[in-house]
Amino acid sequence: MVTLQGKTIAFLAAPEGVEQVELTGPWQAVQEAGGTPRLVSTRSGSIQAFHHLDRGDTFKIDAVVCETSAADYDALVLPGGVANPDALRLDTEAVAFAKSFFNSGKPVAAICHAPWMLIEADVVRGRSLTSWPSLRTDLVNAGAHWADKQVQVCTDGPNVLVSSRKPDDLPAFNEALVTAFATT
């Protein structure tokens, strides 16, 4: 059995716009594997999740991006939703936070539209990954090797990057990220 016992995993989300299932599914997988998930955002309080375009639940923020660092976590999860990564990539502290996981050699998992953050952080060049299909051109233009796969695990370089396309892929994404986070 794969375990994340003793590992703390950051989940980076904007104050509004994260796709709820892409936050809660991996969150639950981390908890079930014995890890400790922590919600990080660009301001304190809570975030508003969505079910595509409809408001979902709110979630309490554990840390503000400008008051924490990659050193406080063992890995990073970037949930999707169109608005979530689009807002985060405009926040220089959020981009620096995500990039610092790559600079530290720590594993990162991104689903759906979340690779927009990775493009902004300039960490996709030469890496193999997948995403929501509409990001294909953006990723290729940023130097990534894009594939239309349920899950892509890239071990090029010092850290592991797990990526996935959409909510339907969550079971495979969750299994891959827990395995990657446990072995690093």
Three-class DSSP labels, 129-150: ECCCHHHHHHHHHCCCEECCCC
Q: Does the pLDDT value for residue 38 go beyond 70?
A: yes
Alpha carbons 96 and 115: distance in angstroms, whole number:
14
Alpha carbons 21 and 13: distance in angstroms, whole number:
13
Q: Which CATH class is domain 8-182?
A: alpha beta
Q: What is the pLDDT, as a whole number, of residue 158?
A: 72
pLDDT digits (tens, 9 = 90+) for 158-179: 789 999 999 999 999 999 999 9
Q: Does the pLDDT value for residue 157 go beyond 70?
A: no
Q: Which of 66, 113, 145, 154 is catalytic?
A: 113
- Cα–Cα distances in Å, from 46 out to 73, 86, 155? 20, 18, 34
Task: Read off the amino acid at residue 26.
Answer: P
Q: What is the pLDDT, as a whole number, of residue 1?
A: 75
Give catalytic status of residue 51 as yes or no: no
pLDDT digits (tens, 9 = 90+) for 39-48: 999 999 999 9
* Residue with tokens 């300039």, as numbered in its chain: 122
For residues 184 and 106, the answer to whether their CB atoms sit within 8 Å is yes
Q: What is the CA radius of gyration of the chain?
A: 14
Q: What is the pLDDT, as a whole number, of residue 54?
A: 95
Q: Does the pLDDT value for residue 15 go beyond 80?
A: yes
pLDDT digits (tens, 9 = 90+) for 19-32: 999 999 999 999 99
Q: Does the pLDDT value for residue 104 go beyond 70?
A: yes
User: What are the extents of the domains in the chain?
Assistant: 8-182
The pLDDT mean for the chain works out to 96
| DSSP single-letter state for residue 122 | T
Q: Does the pLDDT value for residue 156 go beyond 70?
A: no
Binned at pLDDT 50, 70 and 90, residue 10 comes out as very high
Q: Which of 51, 52, 66, 112 is catalytic?
A: 112
Give catalytic status of residue 112 as yes or no: yes
Q: Does the pLDDT value for residue 100 go beyond 80?
A: yes
For residue 65, the number of C-alpha atoms closer than 13 Å in the C-beta half-sphere is 22
Q: What is the pLDDT, as a whole number, of residue 144?
A: 96
Q: What is the pLDDT, as a whole number, of residue 57?
A: 98
